[in-house]
Amino acid sequence: MDVMEFFQLSTGVWRSQRTTHHLAFKRTEAGESEIQVEALAADHAKVVEICQIHDVDPKHAIGGAFVSWHGAMGWDKDDENHEGSTVFALIPDIDQPRNGTLLRERGYAEIVPVAGQYHMDDDGGLVLTTEYETMSSIERFWFPSPSLRMRTSTVKRFGGFATATFCTEFRLGDASEVAANPEKADRSQDASEPTPATAEPAPHLSVLGW
Amino acid sequence: MDVMEFFQLSTGVWRSQRTTHHLAFKRTEAGESEIQVEALAADHAKVVEICQIHDVDPKHAIGGAFVSWHGAMGWDKDDENHEGSTVFALIPDIDQPRNGTLLRERGYAEIVPVAGQYHMDDDGGLVLTTEYETMSSIERFWFPSPSLRMRTSTVKRFGGFATATFCTEFRLGDASEVAANPEKADRSQDASEPTPATAEPAPHLSVLGW
């Protein structure tokens, strides 16, 4: 899979279940969000515009994506609003086309334009590395199946690991990849629904034991 | 990194912070465990014995590991006991030495001997694929730093994704990789300790936005 195939497969609406491990405090924070992704062609006006913001010749872009999201994390105050959108452009390295630069309109935490490095690994994963002024992040996205996307990210602040985040993301309208029917299992919609037997804690499966 | 380098780097005692996403039920389960890992040489008696159990010539093994663990998950009943240990042997493929078979003494969920496939990817990750009678799992382990190991795993049952698990694991006795002092931040040890300012929810950082 190349990087544009990754964003073409990402195109659609996704429901994200997110967990953040706050490493120094051994605390876990849960959240959910809805994400919309649209792959953009190399000649899309927004891709051209972002290249120009970053002083990059737009003819080097192979495409980009538009992403919007809304959601909430467990520790949010009422007035915090996890809504937003971003657009970015992808500029592959000339000699290593599976690596490149991701130019972004704006970062979530900082208002200045940001650029990150991307890399498509041999297992179809997209790895993004971004350096901010006082922190850095490494993220890996991959598709266990076309309708299930996963993500891990680690954030370093002042040289130490601060958080590690894991997201499982389902394509909305396609529950075919899930072992049981999520509508029936979502007890919040019908409190009288008996707990399915398979909601019992599953044994922690690992061939390594732990 | 090759697979024995991976287990040599894993050798030691680790504190694991674990989150399982039960996909069909949109529920999140948290847990913690302590893990001890010891790399074993190819001629270790246990490695030889496991090869013999699986009818594999022990001279094809490049080594193995001994793993023991104890911990608890959020939904456990009181009488459930997450303690155990396992030993396994590593048999590389002849033509592709970064791939191979992991022979195990016994599975966590099944008492019969199990064999899984391993693969070291180009980013230093160890990928394990294991087929059980009614389920399968794919796990990926990697080291963001020598004292921080991470793991994701997905489990399929009857063809559908059932759970996705994420673990962040610190080497005990080495907190140098963490952004703040975990001893001071662990409020369970000293309830009068004020909450550090940095325990506030961090903005969800991603160069992709979501």
pLDDT of residue A77: 56
Closest CA to B30 of B137, B151, B165, B138: B165
Residues 53-92, chain B: which have Cβ within 8 Å of A?
65, 67-69, 73, 75-76, 80, 82, 84-86, 88
What phi, psi does A109 have (nearest 5°)?
-95, -15
Q: Is 0.95 surpassed by the pTM of this model?
A: no
Measured CA to CA, the distance from residue A74 to residue A19 in angstroms comes to 9
Q: Maximum distance among all alpha carbons in chain B?
A: 60
Q: Closest to B166 (Cβ–Cβ): which among A158, A166, A203?
A: A166
Q: Is A109 on the interface with B (CB under 8 A)?
A: yes
Helix (H) or strand (E) holding A120: strand A114-120
Residue A63: other Cβ atoms inside 10 A: 18
Q: Which residue has the higher pLDDT, A96 or A132?
A: A96
- For A66-124, what is each residue's pLDDT tens digit? 998 887 666 655 545 577 888 899 999 999 999 999 998 765 555 556 789 999 998 89
Q: What ipTM score was computed for the predicted complex, to two decimals?
A: 0.75
Distance from CA of A19 to the nearest CA of B (A): 7
Residue B159: other Cβ atoms inside 10 A: 11
Find the residue in B nearest to A72 (Cα): B204
Q: Closest to A114 (Cβ–Cβ): which among B128, B202, B207?
A: B207
Measured CA to CA, the distance from residue B61 to residue B54 in angstroms comes to 12
Give chain B positions within 8 Å (CB) of A157.
179
CA count, 13 A, side-chain hemisphere, B6: 29
List the domain boundaries for chain B.
3-174
Region B109-137: mean pLDDT is: 83
Region B120-149: mean pLDDT is: 91
List beta partners, residue B205.
none
Residue B157: pLDDT over 60: yes
Average pLDDT value for chain A: 80
Q: Maximum distance among all alpha carbons in chain A?
A: 60
Region B68-86: mean pLDDT is: 70
Q: Which residue has the higher pLDDT, A60 or A207?
A: A60
Distance from CA of B67 to the nearest CA of A (A): 7
Distance from CA of A37 to the nearest CA of B (A): 10
pLDDT of residue B44: 97
Q: How far is CA B82 from CA B85, B109, B172, B184, in A?
A: 10, 12, 19, 28
pLDDT of residue A96: 94
Question: Token pair 């732990």 is at which residue?
Answer: A210
Q: Which residue has the higher pLDDT, B86 or A138?
A: A138
pLDDT of residue A186: 41
CB contact under 8 A, B202 and A20: yes
Closest CA to B143 of A149, A152, A125: A152
Measured CA to CA, the distance from residue A171 to residue A10 in angstroms comes to 9
DSSP state letters, A86-99: EEEEEEE-SS-TTE
Region A137-151: mean pLDDT is: 94
Find the residue in A nearest to B200 (Cα): A75
Through-space distance between the first and last CA atoms of chain B, rounded to whole angstroms:
31
Distance from CA of B188 to the nearest CA of A (A): 10
Q: Which residue has the higher pLDDT, B131 or B174?
A: B131
CATH code: domain B3-174 is 2.40.128.20
Question: CATH says A3-178 is which class?
Answer: mainly beta
pLDDT of residue A71: 78
Helix and strand element counts for chain A (H, E) = 3, 10
Measured CA to CA, the distance from residue B153 to residue A125 in angstroms comes to 15
